[in-house]
Chain A
């Protein structure tokens, strides 16, 4: 296990370096004026861009520029994001908690229900649950999440008015910004409970439900199918038959013996799911006007807010790399074939 995990960790700085090179190369496609905005930290400087260009050496050779850019990056100085109307690093800090909260509310139900449904489909192969899950997976895999999200918005906001867009209603928002409310985690549902404000919790859940529902069904489809095939594979193994033969109760055989082993590929898949979610929230947040990094990133891209796009890309790449690393390590920790191999 040591060597495998060590190799993963050694590759980490290499990938991080590659990511900065890729982003920097992409930035070279934009004019110096737009790139100069990267170094602007305050609105007044926008008036004298040519000074900024000269001051930060945007007319210098590429490798010099790259070194300077990397230095700025190391100091967390990512420039002024016009779409967020604040420095990019502050914008990430401001928008990320909302996305994190949304991701948790998608990830947990997807994994719990998806694994449960997949297990049921495998255990009751060719019965109703199996056919239902197959139909569910097939029809949802073609569903564009943005179309599905718009339909949810039409039904649950336009018609029923249950899941309004945004992150909080006006009163709740004002209350959370008042001194009576303490932000411990910046996850609104958690903070609301810690402050003992049930109505804010309900309000936050109602706002999260829309974008969460948009992605939950779409992301779950794949997990159900993988769990099913993985379970089917394991249920054929000898030790499952042994368990049954020695008279173990069926739930023990399925939950303790079969599913534990079937979960190994699912852990890898969960990291893919996490990465997929980081892309998916861009669409879901945009549709429901949910103020997370996804909506901000998409807005920055549409309005050519280069510092915003850069910060967004680097941040999301960082999260993705860490997510993949976590999956590799978990995988090695669970599966003895990799640990010892």
Chain B
């Protein structure tokens, strides 16, 4: 018994390093041994370099002797979330290596299709996840869809955090009448279920993935503005703000240099873990037919295509199962990963929750 406990509680960095090292060596050997793989790696040196950089960054983070990583490692669910998100990041970075685009393609995000046979074809060699209607390759779509998912999430976050920070700091710092006005504006946005408002905005802007991103960002900023406002209300009472004012700093300088940097981190953490939800809403809009056009590597769009095949053929209702299960699993895992990671972060960072879960 004591032997087992000793093995379990032994500090892990060396152990982790050894596993990662051997996996990397195995990958390198495999790459040099298989000529097609070697060619792919040589063709995309930047992507492979970015991948190696990511591995190094993750290892460095994991080996940090901080309280934070120690708590994180203790919780199996947060490790699972961490692993899922890392896998998605790796797939997104390595997309051209995992699913090389055709040599003469003008946009790698357009899924190549073989012929125009309308019925999906089941998984087989060369098409490991099968092909959906019109012979769009599901594997290619899901791999490049990972890049689409991250792009959507990052663009939406960038827009809504920017608007949220501007509005939130105006409301929180100036207070009184401006605060009242901004809060009433957020009330109006929050008077809609978020999916409904984003459907309406996308419809008015016209369909397309870029319109979907704008719509979700417009729906998302009021929450961030309110969150930041709350934190600014407490930060602006602090002595260093008073000191800055006494030293003659203007409002803009105080807000940008002193207030926002001290109030924004909780917001950034909350926002970072909204990435799963954002991708979910974007996929829902694509599913309704408001997002990416047919054939674009986007998970929601792939699910939308699978709708035509969901009932199978008489006598064999599950014949086209792969058209919905694979893209569905991609969205499910992505959202699950962010949720697990978000829960773990909140548990670790919020001292009130410690020990209660």
Instruction: Give the B-binding residues of A (Cβ under 8 A).
Output: 11, 14-15, 18-19, 21-23, 26-27, 29-30, 138-139, 141-147, 150-151, 153-155, 157-159, 229, 232, 275-276, 278-280, 282-283, 286-287, 297-298, 300-302, 304, 306, 309, 312-313, 316-317, 320-321, 324
Residues from chain B with a CB closer than 8 A to the CB of A157 are 311
Give CA–CA (A278, B283) in the complex, Å: 18
Chain B: which residue is nearest A283 at the CB level?
A: B284
B308-347 interface code vs A (CB 8 A; 1 in, 0 out): 0011100001100100110110011111110110000000
Tell whether, in the assembled complex, residue A301 and residue B290 are in contact, meaning their CB atoms are under 8 Å apart: yes
- Closest A residue to B279 by beta carbon equals A144
A325 to B195, CA, bound (A): 20
Residues of B within 8 A of A (CB): 77, 184-185, 187-189, 191-197, 199-207, 276, 280, 283-284, 287-290, 303, 306-307, 310-312, 317-318, 321, 324-325, 327-328, 331-337, 339-340, 356
Q: Give B334's nearest chain A residue, CB to CB.
A: A142
CB distance from B286 to the nearest CB of A (A): 10
Residue of B whose beta carbon sits closest to that of A286 = B288
Contact of B196 among A146, A286, A297 (CB under 8 A): A297
Residue of B nearest to A20 (CB): B188
Q: Contacts A18-B188, A317-B191; is A282 near B310 (CB within 8 Å)?
A: no
Across-interface contacts of B196 in A (CB, < 8 A): 278-279, 282, 297, 312-313, 316-317
* Shortest beta-carbon distance from B16 to chain A in Å: 25
What is the distance, in angstroms, from B102's C-beta to the closest C-beta of chain A?
A: 29
CA distance A22 to B309 in the complex (A): 39
Interface contact B184-A15, CB-CB below 8 Å? yes
Nearest opposing residue in chain A for B288, CB measure? A298
Q: Give the Cβ gap from B181 to chain A, nearest Cβ, in Å.
A: 11
Contact yes or no, B310 A153, CB < 8 A: yes
A159 contacts which of B192, B318, B332, B337 (Cβ < 8 Å)? B318
Q: Are B185 and A18 in contact (CB under 8 A)?
A: yes
When C-beta atoms are compared, the residue in chain A nearest to B202 turns out to be A301
Distance in Å: Cβ of A229 to nearest Cβ of chain B = 8
Complex contacts, A21 vs chain B, CB 8 Å: 188
Chain A residue at smallest Cβ distance from B198: A279
Instruction: Report the Cα distance A141→B195, complex, angstroms.
Output: 16
With most chain B CB atoms within 10 A of its CB, the pick from A279, A287, A306 is A279
In the bound complex, residues from chain A placing their C-beta under 8 Å from that of B303 are 144, 146-147, 150
Give the contacting residue for B191; candidates A139, A159, A306, A321; CB below 8 A: A321
**Are A142 and B335 in contact (CB-based, < 8 A)?**
yes
Q: How far is the CA of A329 from the CA of B336 in the complex (A)?
A: 35
Contact B189 A26 (CB under 8 A): no
Chain B residues closer than 8 Å to A282, beta-carbon distance:
195-196, 199, 288
CA gap between A283 and B203 in the complex, in Å = 16
CB of A316 within 8 A of CB of B193, answer yes
**Given A153-B311, A312-B200, A144–B193 Cβ distance below 8 Å?**
no
Q: How far apart sit A285 and B276, CA to CA, in the bound complex (Å)? A: 23
For the complex with contacts A15-B187, A317-B196, 5 further pairs of A-B residues with Cβ separation under 8 Å are A15-B191, A144-B331, A150-B310, A275-B193, A279-B193
**A154 contacts B77, CB within 8 Å?**
no
> Judging by beta carbons under 8 Å apart, are A144 and B328 in contact?
yes
B311 touching A150, Cβ below 8 Å: no
CB pair B306–A150 under 8 Å, yes or no, is: yes
Q: Residues of A contacting B311 with CB < 8 Å?
A: 153-154, 157-158
Q: In the complex, are the beta carbons of A302 and B288 less than 8 A apart?
A: yes
A142 touches B195 (CB 8 A): no
Q: How far is the CB of A215 from chain B (nearest CB, A)?
A: 12
Given contacts A138-B339, A282-B199, A283-B288, contact A14 B283 (CB under 8 A): no
Decide: A320 near B191, CB < 8 A? Known: A147-B332, A158-B312: yes
B310 near A142 with CB under 8 A, answer no
Q: In whole angstroms, how far apart are the Cα atoms of A298 and B207 in the complex?
A: 12
Residues of A near B337 (CB, < 8 A) are 142
| A286 CA to B276 CA, complexed, in Å | 23
> Provided the pairs A18-B185, A150-B307, A159-B318 are in contact, do residues A301 and B332 lie with their beta carbons within 8 angstroms?
no
Residues of A within 8 A of B189 (CB): 22
Alpha-carbon distance A154/B320, docked complex (angstroms): 10
Bound state CA distance, A232 and B353, in angstroms? 12
Q: Which residues of A contact B339 (CB under 8 A)?
A: 138, 141-142
Contact B332 A279 (CB under 8 A): no
- From residue A303, how far is it (CB to closest CB) to chain B in Å? 9
Set of chain A residues within 8 Å of B199, measured between Cβ atoms:
282, 297-298, 301, 309
Residue of B whose beta carbon sits closest to that of A304: B203
The listed residue (B188, B280, B288, B306) touching A301 by CB distance below 8 A is B288
How many angstroms from the CA of A283 to the CA of B317 in the assembled complex?
22
Smallest CB separation, A126 vs chain B (Å):
11
Q: Which of B195, B276, B289, B317 contacts A280 (CB 8 A)?
A: B195
Q: How far is the CB of A331 from chain B (nearest CB, A)?
A: 17
Q: Can you list the 8 inter-chain pairs with the closest CB atoms, starting with the nearest?
A: A142-B336, A18-B188, A279-B193, A279-B195, A158-B317, A147-B328, A301-B203, A142-B335
CB-based contact A313/B283 at 8 Å: no
Given A150-B306, A280-B195, A304-B203, A141 contacting B283 (CB threshold 8 A): no
- Chain A residues in 8 Å Cβ range of B324: 147, 150-151, 154
Residues of B within 8 A of A18 (CB): 184-185, 187-188, 191
A142 cross-chain contacts in B, Cβ below 8 A? 276, 332-337, 339
Question: Chain B contacts of A29 at CB under 8 A?
Answer: 204-205
Complex CA gap A30/B200 in Å reads: 12
Q: Across the two chains, which residue of chain B brings its CB closest to A154? A: B310
